[in-house]
A and B are shown apart, each in its own frame.
Chain A
Amino acid sequence: MKMDMSQYLDVFLEESKEHLGSLNHKLLDLEKNTDDISALNEIFRAAHTLKGMSSTMGFEDLADLTHHMENVLTDLKEGMLAVDSSVVDILFQCFDRMQLLIDQIESTNSGKMDNSDLVAVLENINTGKSEAASISDNASKEAEENSSSAGVNFVDDNSFDFNQYDITVLKEAISRGFRIYYIIIEVDKGCLMKAVRAFMVFRALEEDSEIIKAVPPAQEIEDGAFEGEFELFITSQVNLPDIENRLSNISEVRVKEIREIDLSSITARKVSIAASTKAAGINNKLEQLQPKKTQKSKQTVRVDIDRLDNLMNLVGELVMHKGRLEQIGANNKIGELNETIEQIDRISTDLQAVVMKVRMVPIEQVFNRFPRMVRDLAKDLKKDVEFLIEGKETELDRTVIDEIGDPLVHLLRNAIDHGLESPQIREQNGKPQQGTLILRARHEGNNVYIEVEDDGAGINTARVLEKAVEKGIIDSREAEQMSQEEAIELLFSSGFSTAQSISDLSGRGVGLDVVKSKIESLSGEIFVDSTLGKGTKFRIKLPLTLAIIQALMIAVRDEIYAVPLSSVDETTLINKNDIKMVQNQEVIMLRGTVLPLFRLKSLLSIPGNDSEEQEMYVVVVRKAEKQIGLVVDTLIGQQEIVIKSLGKILSGIPGLAGAIVAGDGNVRLILDIVTLF
């Protein structure tokens, strides 16, 4: 293919990932309920689309793998193969490989990978040689008896597999007075144009007969892709000698065998196939072949997140200039203009809301990869886990979605590893063997709550205290005085865990301090409820969006800053004379508690001179559990701000969380209270 496909690569990757996602999802459904035909159909569709896309893009290895998957899936769909755990496992392996391939394509642009191992396994399944196909001895014996009792001397070759559809066709043909013939055609060894001869055979038969089944498949036969001979099942009203006669008139072709067979032998064979694939309930299932509900696809447009950011910027600009217009209208007292501005105001507010809404993504995107992870993990750790997901349609800002995955992985891992007990222990403790792990998301006001709840052993606070003392985080005296809540809080202190970082998932450490700091960086909070012996619940509270927050605008000398309202407890006016010095630190008594004071002008070395006023404004902010007073010159007011990143060059400056474009077009900086001091 000469066409340059690189421009489609992004779309390809994006869509492939989506299909992989649904594949993963449906595979899990299938594993849970092997009769789930609609899941099977979805899987087939995903694999089929992936095959098409990858071969168009020239990623042959991926196309080949999906092609073989598709073959197996077709068999599964048509009931010629039973869905069991070994098949699902193999499909999962294929899925992993596909993911690997897609990742490789994304990073290196090339999709070369040797998949012969998996392809071989898939082919084995397909030809019925896999374990799955040969499992139940008893069943197949029974089937043999069935077929012999039908009294037909037939069945020993393995090559014909009739599915329900074929059988229905055959039945119908017989009811209309057709007969079924089995023919083996031999083509001369010296024949140069096998395909032509085969075609002539087909032509000769198709006059008044129908070819129900061919081995190899008819398409391959017509392409000449067979060795010496091929086999056919046909239905016809013509007598056997007529057919034989007609076929033997074709040169270089010989009818090796031709005989009439009756339907019962085929249905018996059908049983044998069903039995040998260990599908006791297969016929059952075939009746339910109609998918319960085919999913209706929503009409969507894929948009680059950058474009949305851009749109957001433009809307911001619009709002800003609207502000200027208002100013002009007010200054010049133009009534007409003011009316129009009011309209613009309404429209731009709506526009802003719409753009914000567009950025919202269902948390499903993150949640979808967890069932597989939990399944694998539970298998590895020999735990029996029922994993429930609730509220996956809950929407969150795209930026939060991108960041929340890792902390959740961590919490889920912890729950399976440390929370849930092994089935034996659970039974000893009078709990059901299967542990329950719930991942839940919901809206509440302007926040989204995500909960990870298990019904495991709970947090053993005595053990936590012991470990904290051991690690030197607290001393034994402190430990004695600690409340239950304070002890649990220790889990989040750095140095408590053994894992180095949040990506260090292989470490069995808790690493909750990293989870906590990640969530705090998203302006969220994390809480723990735990009852010993009953279970643990981690609750994460997140803002709906990171892009727009409420902020308090303050001024110091000539500079204006924004303080996120979420970290402001209160504002107060203090008298200079009330300030006291404790260990070289300015403090003030605020309703009985000591409040340390920091002057923003010295913290940020803000240039300029001013005479110290007798009274000064203090913004009381919260850092972790402590309150700190921030001395500023003026409180400008509360405002909804659109947060913008400072960019790569200026990232990581302590005390700064980002920037905003103020109504007058100037840039103002947002203070990050956690890193300011």
Chain B
Amino acid sequence: MEIASNLHFQGSYSEDNEVQVVAFSLGQEEYAVDIMYVLEINRLLNITRVPRAEKHIEGVVNLRGNIIPIINLYTRFNINASENEEDKRIIVFQLDDMRVGIIVDQVSEVLRLSKNDIEETDKVYSAQNVDHIKGIAKVNNRLLLLLDLFKIMQ
């Protein structure tokens, strides 16, 4: 398991200084995560509420017999979710030996970003959720916030 995740890490920052990301939207904002951590993207499954859990835990789902916790970034980032339930997806990540999903409004595409286009956040961004953002990428006229998944897990 460990070896595999190391490989992922190397693979995601390939020698040509590029990183592949999955871009998605939360409310009006566009986010992206390193594709090597993405296990799969699903339609909204039946989410079971977990009482007494922290409020950003939306609940748990059954993914082929595995129980996967689902994190709600809307409450975490204070974003209003889109009304369109049809486009909503669950992105399931594999981080080390942990699996976790997040709910997003829409998954737009898979992008290749040059590392030169990524700016570190402390220079440009100072919102409350700056902790969860690894950087900001400029793609044409769009701004993509790169999520730091490990921070989100904490």
Contacts and interface: CB of A to CB of B under 8 A. Distances in A.
Contact of B65 (A317, A606, A646): A317
Contact of A659 (B51, B57, B60, B100): B60
Interface stretch (A61-69, A457-465, A589-597, A662-670): A662-670
Contacts of A255: none
A151 interface: no
A474 to B, nearest CB: 33
B153 interface: yes
A655 B51 CA distance: 9
Contacts of A666: 46, 48, 62
Contact of A661 (B53, B59, B65): B65
A649 B67 contact: no
B134 interface: no
Nearest to A6: B3
Interface residues of A, number: 27
B48 A667 contact: yes
B127 interface: no
Interface string A628-651: 000000000000000011111110
A669 to B, nearest CB: 7
B28 interface: no
A316 B65 contact: yes
Interface string B27-40: 00000000000000
A317 B67 CA distance: 12
A585 interface: no
Interface in B75-95: none
A606 B48 contact: no
Contacts of B69: 646-647, 649-650
A225 interface: no
A646 B53 CA distance: 11
Contacts of A656: 50-52
Contact of B67 (A559, A604, A645, A665): A645
A665 B46 contact: yes
Contacts of A646: 50, 60, 67, 69
Contacts of A668: 48
Interface string B79-118: 0000000000000000000111000000000000000000
Given A653-B52, A666-B48, A666-B62, A648 B67 contact: no
A654 B52 CA distance: 8
Contact of B64 (A313, A648, A649, A667): A313
A316 B64 CA distance: 9
A290 interface: no
Contact of A647 (B48, B49, B99): B99
B52 A655 contact: yes
B61 interface: yes
Nearest to A314: B65
Contacts of B46: 665-667
Contact of A605 (B48, B51, B64): B51
B50 A649 contact: no
Q: Which of A646, A647, A653, A667 is most buried by chain B, counting CB atoms within 10 A of its CB?
A: A667
Nearest to A316: B65
B55 to A, nearest CB: 11
B98 A650 contact: no
Interface in A264-321: 313-314, 316-317
A607 B49 CA distance: 10
Interface residues of B, number: 22
Given A659-B67, A666-B62, A667-B60, A606 B51 contact: yes
A313 B51 contact: no
B102 to A, nearest CB: 12
A580 B114 CA distance: 70
B66 interface: yes
Given A317-B64, A649-B69, A559 B49 contact: yes
A313, A647, A665 — most chain B CB neighbours (10 Å): A647
Contact of A667 (B51, B52, B61, B153): B61
A604 B98 CA distance: 26
Of B51, B60, B61, chain A has the most CB atoms within 10 Å of the CB of: B51
Interface in B3-52: 46, 48-52
A388 to B, nearest CB: 41
Contacts of B64: 313, 317
B53 to A, nearest CB: 6
A653 B69 CA distance: 13
Given A647-B98, A648-B98, A667 B62 contact: yes
Given A313-B66, A647-B69, A661-B65, A604 B51 contact: yes
Contacts of B53: 650, 653
A654 B46 CA distance: 23
Interface in A213-242: none
Contact of A650 (B57, B61, B66): B57
A647 B100 CA distance: 9
A659 B48 CA distance: 10
Nearest to A668: B48
B134 to A, nearest CB: 20
A649 B57 contact: yes
A662 B98 CA distance: 22
Interface in B117-154: 153
A314 to B, nearest CB: 7
Contacts of B98: 647-649
Contacts of B68: 647
Q: From B46, B48, B100, name the one whose CB has the most chain A CB atoms within 10 angstroms.
A: B48
A551 to B, nearest CB: 16
Contacts of A645: 67
Nearest to B48: A667
Contact of A644 (B67, B100, B153): B67
Nearest to B61: A667
A669 B52 CA distance: 12
Nearest to A559: B49
A296 to B, nearest CB: 36
B60 A650 contact: yes
A313 B65 contact: yes
Nearest to A659: B67
Contact of A653 (B50, B61, B99, B153): B50
Contacts of A655: 51-52
A316 B63 CA distance: 12
Contacts of B153: 649
A650 B50 contact: yes
Nearest to B99: A647
Interface of A: 313-314, 316-317, 559, 604-607, 644-650, 653-656, 659, 661, 665-669
Return the 5 tightest CB-CB contacts between A and B, nearest first: A313-B65, A604-B51, A667-B48, A661-B62, A659-B67
19 contacts: A317-B64, A605-B52, A646-B50, A646-B69, A647-B67, A647-B98, A650-B53, A653-B52, A653-B53, A654-B52, A656-B51, A659-B60, A661-B67, A665-B62, A666-B46, A666-B62, A668-B48, A669-B48, A669-B50
Interface of B: 46, 48-53, 57, 59-62, 64-69, 98-100, 153
Given A606-B51, A647-B69, A650-B60, 15 more contacts: A313-B64, A316-B65, A604-B51, A607-B49, A646-B69, A647-B100, A650-B57, A655-B52, A656-B50, A661-B65, A667-B48, A667-B67, A668-B48, A669-B48, A669-B51
